[in-house]
Structure 1
Amino acid sequence: MIETAPPGTEFAALHAELREVTRDVLARMSPETPVGPAVAAQQGWLGLEVPEEFDGAGATFAETAVVAREWGRAVAVGAYPSAVLAVGTCLLLTPAPGRDQLLRAIAVGESTVAVAFTGDADACRSVGAPFRLRHSGSRRVLSGSAEFVLDAPLADHLLLFATDEDGLPAVVSLAARTAGTVHTAQPLLDRTRTFGAVVADELTVAPASIHRLAGAPAVAVQRLHDRAAVLIACDSLGLSEGILAATVAYAGTRTQFGRPIGSFQAVKHACADMLVRLTVSRHLVDAAVRRVAANHPEAGIAVAMAKSHACAAAVDIAGKAMQLHGGYGYTWDSGIHRYLERATLNRALYGTPAAHRRRVSGRYDPAIRTSTGKGFQR
């Protein structure tokens, strides 16, 4: 399958080279072996968006999306998605020595950071957070909990979104094993990712560990939600591409009645339908990536379209691929289950298709926008 950059895309040659190198590196690794921070940092993946003064590449989310897409295509295991969220969160904060040190540590692979925030797509217009900050005498005390925090069991550092007594958002940065925090692993069917619950119980935090969001808080929170959603959409797009490539290859070698099954019309039609859905996903995801990278004011609508379609399509494509593989597709040896499990989790992660469709509908239906407060706000 020939892949081309969207018309008018800048740095198309750079993206093509980055895609090729990333695909080659991930293909040489065992599917069951996690891609460690040292390897990811050596390839420059972790520091793509980190400013150059902090040992990063100073690139944009467009380059990050290229790697995320290949990460999904290879069904890679590792903490790359959580690193992307951590870098994005740090870039939303007011510059401070602690923030700058954390950016450098992420870029060089010295720290694995988990971000705990409200991952519901319907909450993307809210500055609400799973943790609360309050004064207790001269101390600042943190309490609250967050479930299904990506890579929380593996992290050595946490970024916790909290709301202070004035209702303003803040991000608390602390070591993962700080006394007063509890981590509980939350196993899922998808074994390529790690999630955990984080609980803070009356934890005293130093003033230097409390960071404020730069600019309008609601806009910053929205950008983080959009970033998380389109990151998963890129992963699902890569999954779809990998599934279709594997299915076409299998259909060309598996024979029945003396002919490759790919020569049968029903199989051709099924693969063509998969390609159509994949092509739509590709256009929607590319549009969302461009808007997120440019901090476009209407990026949320493009993200909602991409997330709702690409993640739902990936599940359908994986299911069809399993059918086309026949009985072999239902075995562990085929590896199709890895795509299906991850695609199913992606569909619900950081907003279900239904939640993101509500965001889109709010743009066109004023009644939805005003009555629910969950629609798009101009």
Structure 2
Amino acid sequence: MIETTSPASEFVALHAELRDVTRDLLARTGPGGSVQPVVAARQGWLGLEVPEEFDGAGATFAESAVVLREWGRAVAVGSYPSAVLAVGTCLALEPEPARDQLLRDLAAGERTVAVALTADAGACDATVPPFRLRYSGGRLTLSGRAEFVSDLPRADRLLLVAADPHGLPVVVSVAADTVGIVPRPLLDSTRSFGGIVADELAVPPDSIQHFIGDPVAAVGQLHDRAALTIACDSLGLSAAVLDATVAYAGTRTQFGRPIGTFQAVKHACADMLVRLTVSRHLVGAAVREVAAAAPGAGIAVAMAKSHACAAAVDLAGKAMQLHGGYGYTWDSGIHRYLERATLNRALYGTPAAQRRRISARYGAAIQQSGSTEKDSRR
């Protein structure tokens, strides 16, 4: 079953092949295995959305989502999710030589780029950039901070979303060693995060890159992409823990028979499948919306992010419970999924923040409908 496309999609076979190849390679690394950028580039993952003129495949986010899901299933270690966000950021910028070269470098795995979208890891409001630009003493300076930036410790290039002197969002491209980086130790050992601190950092004018079209809308779309990237990862790890639990329940015996024959275990596994199925449909719908750049993609992303990430934590916890004491050991690996799912839940908008976003949207629609009805009665 292809989770990221409709059954009628002409790309079903392509996605199935991409999924199978990705799953096979990641399985060889083992749970929590590391995938180097050069390997990801050789597989074509890094250049999936990069235009062909820049040595990429010219695909869409729907193809990246297939790899992201398998990335979560394998709890893989590497910078691929950050590369997906970096490529999306570059594609949202006006074409110019530096941007074009960065796209080529990303596709070839020659650069690791970290993108700082928001100051708060749990926020889903992308209207306030974490950095600001202003003129000081005749020079352009950058100030601000961003917490929990993915792959920051290993990045050599940073793309920072900032408000220009006129208050409009832009992207500032700087070398990683020019800003203050604060390590952020995490329980999740499969990923690395760090904080960025910039205080009146002098930046050259040619480091400022502008968005295509409405910059505020573009930043919102990037934030949706980041949130959906995490939702895809959570969907993959949810599927993995369900598979592992069902397999364990079929081999672990108690009172002379597999524990999977007990009604309580059956019901628990069935509940896990229901949560996973809902996540699959919500994430699939959001992926299609983002890939098509649909106007209402933000709400679909909010629904997918809030449900898939919350469900992943619940499923990993239930899997650990059904594995008994074995679930807490390094041999089972279930704890890796719980650690990763817990962090995913907090990134790019917590479930509570995403639900507030959804309620605000529909609340405004209901209010507008009520006003229209009153006007019609007059």
Q: TM-score scaled to structure 1, two decimals? A: 0.93
- Report the more deviating stretch, 357-366 or 137-146: 137-146
Query: Aligned partners of 1:357 and 1:28: how far apart in 2?
Result: 38
Deviation, structure 1 residue 136: 2.7
Q: 2:348 aligns with which of 347, 350, 356?
A: 350
Q: Does 1:296 align with 2:294?
A: yes
Residue in 1 aligned with 2:210? Answer: 212
1:31-70 matches, cutoff 5 A: 31-70=31-70
Q: CA RMSD in A?
A: 1.6
CA distance in 1, matches of 2:224, 2:366: 20
Q: CA deviation at 1:200?
A: 1.7
Aligned ranges for residues 352-367 of structure 1 at < 5 Å? 352-366=350-364
Contact 2:169–2:215 under 8 Å retained in 1? yes
Q: How many residues align structurally?
A: 365
Distance 1:299-1:252 versus aligned 2 partners, 3 A rule = same
Alpha-carbon distance between aligned partners in 2 of 1:312 and 1:145, rounded to the nearest angstrom: 28
Note closer, same or farther for the CA distance 1:50–1:273 as it changes in structure 2 (3 Å cut): same
Q: Any conservation in 2 of the 1:49–1:60 contact (CA below 8 Å)? A: yes
Displacement of 1:6 after TM fit? 3.1
Residues 238 and 316, structure 2, Cα contact 8 Å, conserved in 1 = yes
2:83/2:113 contact within 8 Å kept? yes
Check whether the contact 1:140–1:207 (CA below 8 A) recurs between aligned residues: yes
CA contact (8 A) 1:148 1:186 kept: yes
Match of 1:95 in 2: 95
Write out aligned runs for 1:72-221 (5 A): 72-118=72-118, 119-124=121-126, 126=127, 128-178=128-178, 181-221=179-219
SS of the aligned residue for 2:352 comes to helix
Q: Does structure 1 retain, via aligned residues, the 8 Å contact 2:2–2:15?
A: no
1:10: how far off?
A: 3.2
**In 2, Cα distance between the equivalents of 1:304 and 1:91?**
22
Separation in structure 2 between the aligned mates of residue 3 and residue 132 of structure 1, nearest angstrom: 42
Partner in structure 1 of residue 259 of structure 2: 261
Q: Secondary structure of the equivalent of 2:289?
A: helix
Letter paired with 1:238: G
Task: Give TM-score, length-normalised by structure 2.
Answer: 0.93
Question: What SS does the corresponding residue of 2:35 show, helix, strand or coil?
Answer: coil
Q: Which amino acid aligns with 1:326?
A: G
Write the letter of the residue equivalent to 2:332.
S
Query: Which ranges in structure 2 are unaligned for 5 or more consecutive residues?
Result: 369-378
Give yes or no for contact 2:31–2:76 (8 Å, CA) kept in 1.
Answer: yes
Name structure 1 gaps, 5 residues minimum: 371-378
Q: Which amino acid in structure 1 is aligned with residue 317 of structure 2? A: G
Answer whether contact 1:98 1:208 (CA < 8 A) is retained. Answer: no
Aligned-pair identity in percent equals: 74
What is the Cα deviation at residue 214 of structure 1?
0.8
Amino acid at match of 1:62: A
3-state DSSP class of the match of 1:177?
A: helix
Q: CA deviation at 1:363?
A: 2.2
Give the C-alpha shift of residue 207 in structure 1.
1.5
The answer (yes or no) to whether the contact 2:122–2:346 under 8 Å persists in 1 is no
Is residue 362–residue 369 contact of structure 1 (8 Å, CA) maintained in 2? no
Distance 1:131 1:3, change over 3 A: closer
